[in-house]
Amino acid sequence: MNLGIDLCGVALKNPVMTASGTFGSGEEYSEFVDLNKLGAVVTKGVANVPWEGNPTPRVAEVYGGMLNAIGLQNPGIDLFIDRDIPFLKKYDTKIIVNVCGHTTEEYIDVVERLSDQPVDLLEINISCPNVKEGGIAFGQNPKMVEEVTKEMKRHAKQPVIMKLSPNVTDITVMAKAAEAGGADALSMINTLTGMKIDINRKTFAVANKTGGVSGPIVKPIAVRMVYQVAQAVNIPIIGMGGISCAEDAIEFLLAGASAVSVGTANFHNPAVTMEVIDGIEAYMKKNGFESVKDMVGIVK
């Protein structure tokens, strides 16, 4: 029985990784989690220059999950290369760098800076607001999705994963656009836009008014979107959205995801990724699956 997977030509020891923005670059979790056991660590979003993020408060609890409006705060690519990559290279795990930007040029800048770095895959966060287009997210316009994907492929030395926004009418349109642009894989879903009002303060719970909803509450939507996209494209999907145990992860695999990312659950259970890996292995033994690939997309 083999837990290993091939993701865009990169060999991962298992299909479980962390979701961007929930695990930093692994350092704060390394005392709780054996990073060597993970299929990959997906870093927090990295931009070409440091981003301060949104004003506080930026996080609120909601029923079944959380609302965040961090605004992709990050220290920028220079510090990331000097500090975070050397830390991750101490471990026997794959490194996936999440890249963010306000313009195509900003994305290109980061991708080019990473071209000679020892990282394995790039995950492009196209839920970022495109400042040149009046703030609409890159991932909400199929033409833009295809264009940005093409540009990333033109400049990237590593395989390119496009991270899709669920805040669209038809996710398959965006997935096909990314595939047409040459994406090697897709990761989905990013957070769903939501709002919470503090009735006692009579104001918004987060200063940004809206934020991204994540956690168990989004899982049925995420599973449905992964299933739809798996029927529409021929490239691998990394499934995410509300995974908090092995059963959740297995649902995504059966729906058509080739790998999974665990996000919000890390905040209240730092060991969750280890539990998911062990749980997938136990499920495979119990159900007679020889490889992870054998279970991907078998529910039609």
The DSSP result for 73-109, as a single string, is: -B--HHHIIIIIHHHHTTSSSEEEEEE--SSHHHHHH
Whether 157 contacts 146, CB under 8 Å = no
Q: What is the mean pLDDT for each group of 10 consecutive residues in the chain (300 residues)? A: 97 98 90 95 96 93 96 94 97 97 96 98 91 84 97 98 97 98 98 97 96 97 98 98 98 98 96 97 98 97
Q: What is the pTM of this model?
A: 0.96
The answer to whether 128 is a known catalytic residue is yes
Q: How far is CA 16 from CA 38, 143, 194, 259, in A?
A: 6, 31, 27, 6
CA–CA separation, 242 vs 226, rounded Å?
13
Of 8, 100, 128, 245, which one is the catalytic site residue?
Answer: 128
